[in-house]
Amino acid sequence: MKLLNLDFTRIAHDTFKIKGSRKIYTDPFKVTARDEADIVLISHEHFDHLSIEDLEKVVFPGTTIVASPLCRDALKGLKVKETRFLDPGGKVSVGKVQIETVPAYNINKFREPGHAFHPLGEKRLGFIITMDGTRVYFAGDTDFIPEMHDIAVDIAMLPVSGTYVMTPEEAAEAALAIHPKIAVPMHYGAIVGSNADAQKFKDLVKHCQVEIL
Protein backbone atom coordinates (compact mmCIF):
# COMPACT_ATOMS: atom_id res chain seq x y z
CA MET A 1 0.00 0.00 0.00
CA LYS A 2 1.19 3.50 -0.80
CA LEU A 3 1.46 5.55 2.37
CA LEU A 4 2.51 9.10 1.59
CA ASN A 5 5.41 8.59 -0.85
CA LEU A 6 6.54 5.12 0.31
CA ASP A 7 5.19 1.64 -0.47
CA PHE A 8 4.48 -0.63 2.51
CA THR A 9 3.88 -4.38 2.42
CA ARG A 10 3.17 -6.24 5.66
CA ILE A 11 4.47 -9.79 5.40
CA ALA A 12 3.77 -11.10 8.91
CA HIS A 13 3.98 -10.07 12.55
CA ASP A 14 6.48 -7.14 12.60
CA THR A 15 7.85 -7.82 9.12
CA PHE A 16 7.34 -5.05 6.60
CA LYS A 17 8.87 -4.27 3.25
CA ILE A 18 9.18 -0.51 2.83
CA LYS A 19 10.09 0.70 -0.64
CA GLY A 20 11.23 4.14 -1.67
CA SER A 21 14.61 5.03 -3.09
CA ARG A 22 15.83 2.01 -1.10
CA LYS A 23 14.17 -1.27 -0.09
CA ILE A 24 13.99 -1.84 3.68
CA TYR A 25 12.87 -4.92 5.61
CA THR A 26 12.00 -4.82 9.31
CA ASP A 27 12.49 -7.87 11.58
CA PRO A 28 12.20 -10.53 8.82
CA PHE A 29 10.01 -13.41 9.99
CA LYS A 30 7.79 -15.81 8.03
CA VAL A 31 9.15 -14.44 4.75
CA THR A 32 7.63 -16.32 1.81
CA ALA A 33 9.58 -15.02 -1.18
CA ARG A 34 13.25 -14.39 -1.95
CA ASP A 35 14.17 -10.72 -2.22
CA GLU A 36 17.16 -8.39 -2.02
CA ALA A 37 16.93 -5.76 0.70
CA ASP A 38 19.14 -2.70 0.67
CA ILE A 39 18.65 -2.31 4.42
CA VAL A 40 17.44 -4.73 7.09
CA LEU A 41 16.51 -3.50 10.56
CA ILE A 42 16.52 -5.95 13.49
CA SER A 43 15.06 -4.65 16.72
CA HIS A 44 16.23 -7.42 19.06
CA GLU A 45 17.27 -11.03 19.42
CA HIS A 46 13.99 -12.89 20.00
CA PHE A 47 13.22 -15.61 17.43
CA ASP A 48 10.24 -13.82 15.93
CA HIS A 49 12.41 -10.78 15.16
CA LEU A 50 15.81 -12.33 14.46
CA SER A 51 15.32 -15.41 12.27
CA ILE A 52 18.41 -16.45 10.33
CA GLU A 53 16.28 -18.63 8.05
CA ASP A 54 14.20 -15.62 7.08
CA LEU A 55 17.10 -13.20 6.94
CA GLU A 56 18.81 -15.41 4.39
CA LYS A 57 15.80 -14.94 2.11
CA VAL A 58 16.17 -11.15 1.97
CA VAL A 59 19.87 -10.35 2.32
CA PHE A 60 22.50 -10.31 -0.41
CA PRO A 61 26.08 -9.02 -0.55
CA GLY A 62 24.82 -5.46 -0.97
CA THR A 63 22.64 -5.42 2.16
CA THR A 64 23.33 -3.25 5.20
CA ILE A 65 21.95 -4.61 8.48
CA VAL A 66 21.26 -2.23 11.36
CA ALA A 67 20.60 -4.15 14.56
CA SER A 68 20.60 -4.20 18.34
CA PRO A 69 23.89 -5.28 19.94
CA LEU A 70 21.92 -8.24 21.33
CA CYS A 71 21.97 -9.68 17.80
CA ARG A 72 25.74 -9.61 17.37
CA ASP A 73 26.55 -13.31 17.83
CA ALA A 74 23.65 -14.59 15.73
CA LEU A 75 24.52 -12.41 12.73
CA LYS A 76 28.19 -13.36 12.44
CA GLY A 77 27.79 -15.75 9.51
CA LEU A 78 25.69 -13.63 7.17
CA LYS A 79 27.30 -12.43 3.95
CA VAL A 80 26.25 -8.82 3.68
CA LYS A 81 27.85 -5.46 2.85
CA GLU A 82 28.01 -4.38 6.48
CA THR A 83 26.34 -4.85 9.84
CA ARG A 84 25.97 -1.90 12.18
CA PHE A 85 25.09 -2.46 15.84
CA LEU A 86 23.55 0.58 17.51
CA ASP A 87 22.53 1.33 21.06
CA PRO A 88 19.34 3.33 21.63
CA GLY A 89 20.04 6.93 20.68
CA GLY A 90 22.28 5.95 17.77
CA LYS A 91 22.26 7.28 14.22
CA VAL A 92 23.59 5.94 10.95
CA SER A 93 23.19 6.88 7.29
CA VAL A 94 22.93 4.27 4.56
CA GLY A 95 23.23 6.27 1.37
CA LYS A 96 20.54 8.92 1.65
CA VAL A 97 18.51 6.92 4.19
CA GLN A 98 18.92 7.94 7.82
CA ILE A 99 18.29 5.46 10.62
CA GLU A 100 17.87 6.58 14.25
CA THR A 101 17.47 4.14 17.10
CA VAL A 102 15.20 4.69 20.09
CA PRO A 103 14.53 2.57 23.20
CA ALA A 104 11.98 -0.25 23.18
CA TYR A 105 11.05 -1.81 26.51
CA ASN A 106 8.24 -2.92 28.79
CA ILE A 107 6.89 -1.06 31.77
CA ASN A 108 3.92 -3.31 32.60
CA LYS A 109 4.39 -6.64 30.77
CA PHE A 110 6.14 -9.22 32.97
CA ARG A 111 7.19 -12.87 32.58
CA GLU A 112 7.12 -13.02 36.39
CA PRO A 113 6.86 -10.33 39.08
CA GLY A 114 9.66 -7.82 38.65
CA HIS A 115 11.00 -9.34 35.41
CA ALA A 116 9.79 -7.65 32.23
CA PHE A 117 9.77 -9.45 28.89
CA HIS A 118 11.81 -6.58 27.41
CA PRO A 119 13.54 -4.80 30.29
CA LEU A 120 14.69 -1.21 30.18
CA GLY A 121 18.42 -0.95 29.56
CA GLU A 122 18.90 -4.14 27.53
CA LYS A 123 19.34 -2.24 24.25
CA ARG A 124 16.33 -3.48 22.34
CA LEU A 125 15.43 -1.01 19.65
CA GLY A 126 12.80 0.94 17.85
CA PHE A 127 13.82 2.68 14.63
CA ILE A 128 13.09 6.03 13.03
CA ILE A 129 13.65 5.83 9.29
CA THR A 130 13.98 8.95 7.17
CA MET A 131 13.69 8.08 3.47
CA ASP A 132 12.70 10.32 0.59
CA GLY A 133 11.61 13.03 3.00
CA THR A 134 9.25 10.80 5.01
CA ARG A 135 9.89 9.83 8.62
CA VAL A 136 8.69 6.40 9.78
CA TYR A 137 8.73 5.05 13.34
CA PHE A 138 9.00 1.27 13.72
CA ALA A 139 8.40 0.81 17.44
CA GLY A 140 9.71 -2.73 17.98
CA ASP A 141 8.56 -4.68 21.04
CA THR A 142 7.59 -1.99 23.50
CA ASP A 143 5.01 -0.56 25.80
CA PHE A 144 3.83 3.05 25.67
CA ILE A 145 7.02 4.58 27.05
CA PRO A 146 7.86 8.21 27.94
CA GLU A 147 10.33 8.50 25.06
CA MET A 148 7.45 8.37 22.59
CA HIS A 149 6.43 11.90 23.55
CA ASP A 150 9.62 13.13 21.83
CA ILE A 151 9.13 11.19 18.57
CA ALA A 152 8.03 13.28 15.57
CA VAL A 153 7.23 11.21 12.48
CA ASP A 154 4.82 11.00 9.56
CA ILE A 155 4.04 7.29 9.94
CA ALA A 156 4.04 5.30 13.21
CA MET A 157 4.09 1.48 13.19
CA LEU A 158 2.91 0.33 16.60
CA PRO A 159 2.49 -3.13 18.19
CA VAL A 160 -1.05 -3.86 19.37
CA SER A 161 -1.28 -7.50 20.53
CA GLY A 162 -0.74 -7.08 24.26
CA THR A 163 1.03 -9.83 26.29
CA TYR A 164 4.58 -8.78 25.28
CA VAL A 165 3.81 -5.32 23.88
CA MET A 166 1.14 -2.62 24.01
CA THR A 167 -2.53 -3.50 24.02
CA PRO A 168 -4.74 -1.78 21.42
CA GLU A 169 -5.75 0.74 24.08
CA GLU A 170 -2.14 1.50 25.02
CA ALA A 171 -1.12 1.73 21.37
CA ALA A 172 -3.92 4.25 20.81
CA GLU A 173 -2.49 6.34 23.66
CA ALA A 174 0.94 6.11 22.03
CA ALA A 175 -0.48 7.22 18.70
CA LEU A 176 -2.07 10.23 20.39
CA ALA A 177 1.28 11.15 21.98
CA ILE A 178 3.25 10.73 18.74
CA HIS A 179 0.54 12.29 16.55
CA PRO A 180 1.63 10.91 13.17
CA LYS A 181 -0.25 11.47 9.94
CA ILE A 182 -0.74 7.70 9.61
CA ALA A 183 -0.62 4.89 12.17
CA VAL A 184 -0.11 1.23 11.24
CA PRO A 185 -0.76 -1.63 13.71
CA MET A 186 1.68 -4.54 13.90
CA HIS A 187 2.73 -7.48 16.10
CA TYR A 188 -0.40 -9.58 15.70
CA GLY A 189 -1.51 -12.66 13.83
CA ALA A 190 1.63 -14.80 14.22
CA ILE A 191 2.69 -15.32 17.86
CA VAL A 192 0.00 -13.47 19.79
CA GLY A 193 -2.83 -11.14 18.89
CA SER A 194 -5.29 -11.18 16.03
CA ASN A 195 -6.85 -9.04 13.33
CA ALA A 196 -9.37 -8.02 15.96
CA ASP A 197 -6.61 -6.25 17.90
CA ALA A 198 -5.64 -4.27 14.81
CA GLN A 199 -9.27 -3.35 14.18
CA LYS A 200 -9.77 -2.31 17.81
CA PHE A 201 -6.73 -0.05 17.54
CA LYS A 202 -8.18 1.50 14.40
CA ASP A 203 -11.53 2.05 16.11
CA LEU A 204 -9.87 3.77 19.07
CA VAL A 205 -7.61 6.15 17.13
CA LYS A 206 -9.55 9.25 16.11
CA HIS A 207 -6.91 11.89 15.45
CA CYS A 208 -5.03 10.35 12.52
CA GLN A 209 -5.47 7.96 9.62
CA VAL A 210 -5.03 4.26 10.50
CA GLU A 211 -4.16 1.68 7.85
CA ILE A 212 -4.29 -2.05 8.55
CA LEU A 213 -1.90 -3.71 6.11
DSSP per-residue string spanning 7-74: EEEEEETTEEEEESSSEEEES--S--S----SEEEE--SSTTT--HHHHHHH--TT-EEEE-GGGTTT
Task: Give the distance from CA 36 to its chain's centroid.
Answer: 19
Predicted pLDDT of residue 193? 67
**Which pLDDT band holds residue 198 (cuts at 50, 70, 90)?**
very high
- Calculate mean pLDDT across residues 77-85: 94
**Percent of all residues in the chain with a pLDDT value above 90, rounded to a whole number:** 82
Q: 2-210: which CATH architecture?
A: 4-Layer Sandwich (3.60)
Phi, psi (5° rounding) for residue 115? -125, 100
- Calculate mean pLDDT across residues 102-113: 84
Residue 136 has pLDDT above 90, yes or no: yes
Residue 149 has pLDDT above 90, yes or no: yes
Q: Determine if residue 210 is left, alpha or beta; phi over 0 gives left, psi from -120 to 50 gives alpha, anything else beta.
A: beta
Predicted pLDDT of residue 4? 96
**Which pLDDT band holds residue 109 (cuts at 50, 70, 90)?**
low
Predicted pLDDT of residue 41? 98
